[in-house]
Amino acid sequence: MRVSVGPFILAVVLPFAVAGSCAAADIEAGKTKYKICAICHTAEAGKNKVGPSLFAGIGLKSASAESYNYSDAMKNFNHTWTPEILDAYLADPRAVVPGTKMIFPGIKDKTERANLIAYLETLK
């Protein structure tokens, strides 16, 4: 009998791989990369632009800023923004949340995403 380990690998190993990459990430490089986010988002609590504030966003439930009008797709996403979920989302937002109004195509480079996530984790 064959046992598939694919789901096990994704559920157990992937979070450690992403967390490990964030632990070694370059926060200053992430701050520089954040400039592409700052076109639509702020790092200030409660202040939105075209997109919602990213202040203290890691650890929050998706679509939880009361003062922002989220797409139905994001309202129905129903996840907590962990580094792992954010990593997948930043790689390809429209694939992770089909119907999102975020038009950003994503950050394909894993190191750049890890750096950005490390910087976002400092916004508290």
Q: Give the CATH number for residue 70.
A: 1.10.760.10
- What residue numbers bound the domain in which 29 lies? 6-120
49 lies in a domain? yes
- Helix orientation angle between 110-120 and 14-23, rounded to the nearest 10 degrees: 70
State the residue for tokens 């790092």.
Answer: 43
pLDDT, residue 95, reads: 97
**How far apart are the C-alpha atoms of 63 and 93, rounded to whole Å?**
14
27: left (phi over 0), alpha (psi -120 to 50) or beta: alpha
Question: How many domains, the chain?
Answer: 1
pLDDT per position in the chain (124 positions), as tens? 433 333 333 344 444 444 444 458 999 999 999 999 999 999 999 999 999 999 999 999 999 998 999 999 999 999 999 999 999 999 999 999 999 999 999 999 999 999 999 999 999 9
116 lies in a domain? yes
65 lies in a domain? yes
* CB distance 106 to 90 below 8 Å: yes
Cα–Cα distance list, 1 to 4, 10 (Å): 10, 21
pTM of the model: 0.80
DSSP for residue 35: G
1 lies in a domain? no
Q: Count the neighbouring beta carbons within 10 Å of the beta carbon of residue 9.
A: 11
- Helix orientation angle between 83-91 and 14-23, rounded to the nearest 10 degrees: 90
